[in-house]
Amino acid sequence: MTDQTRAFYECTRLAEMAAQADEVPIGVVMVKDGKIISGAHNETEKQSNFLAHAEMIAIKRATKFLNTKYLNDCELYSTLEPCPMCMAAARLSRIKSIFYLISSDKFGADGKALYSTHLQKIENHSESDKILNLLRSFFEKKR
């Protein structure tokens, strides 16, 4: 069995656990150097929190396991294409590769999911020089 096959097998097992717990059946594992370092399934119902996606939980567990906020040498495996929130989290944590079994036309990070029928308005109030200067100053000190 290849490392990738093993990772997807574990994702599927976690998705089945999610279904048994009456959660959306999505399973995710984080892999580093061919070894699974964390795994999770959705817990949005259990936690009463829409942020408790399998990807978010697995990323958090991997950062804790490795004692770092960056996952440069890690790969994320999922049973379903990550949503925009989870894709952004993966990008911010510098995950090097993402692999998934099936696409999600409704919620996948391909951009379609960004347009919600529940969202009434998005406005950009770009007059705030104070915030812009605060952000610039902060990042200049970091570099």
- Give 90-113 pLDDT, tens digit per residue: 999 999 999 998 887 777 776 555
Rounded Cα–Cα distance for residues 92 and 113 (Å): 19
Rounded Cα–Cα distance for residues 16 and 99 (Å): 18
Residue 67: exposure state from Cβ atoms within 10 A (0-12, 13-18, ≥19): exposed
What residue spans define the domains of the chain?
3-141
81 is catalytic: no
Q: Which long-range contacts (CB under 8 A, 24 or more apart) does 95-102 make?
A: 95/30, 95/59, 95/71, 96/71, 96/72, 99/4, 99/7, 99/8, 99/75, 101/8, 101/11, 101/12
Segment 48-57, tens digit of pLDDT: 999 999 999 9
Interstrand relation of 97-102 and 35-41 (parallel, antiparallel or unpaired):
unpaired
* Predicted local confidence at residue 53, as pLDDT: 98
> Residue 84 corresponds to which tokens in the numbers above?
């925009």
Q: pTM to 2 decimals? A: 0.83
Which candidate in 23, 55, 75, 81 is catalytic?
55
* Predicted local confidence at residue 103, as pLDDT: 81
How sure is the predictor about 123, in pLDDT bands with cuts at 50, 70 and 90?
low
How sure is the predictor about 127, in pLDDT bands with cuts at 50, 70 and 90?
low
* Predicted local confidence at residue 63, as pLDDT: 98
Beta bridge partners of 100: 78
Largest CA distance in the chain: 57
With beta carbons less than 8 A apart as the criterion, state whether 30 and 75 touch: yes
With beta carbons less than 8 A apart as the criterion, state whether 68 and 52 touch: no
Its CATH architecture, for the domain 3-141, is 3-Layer(aba) Sandwich (3.40)
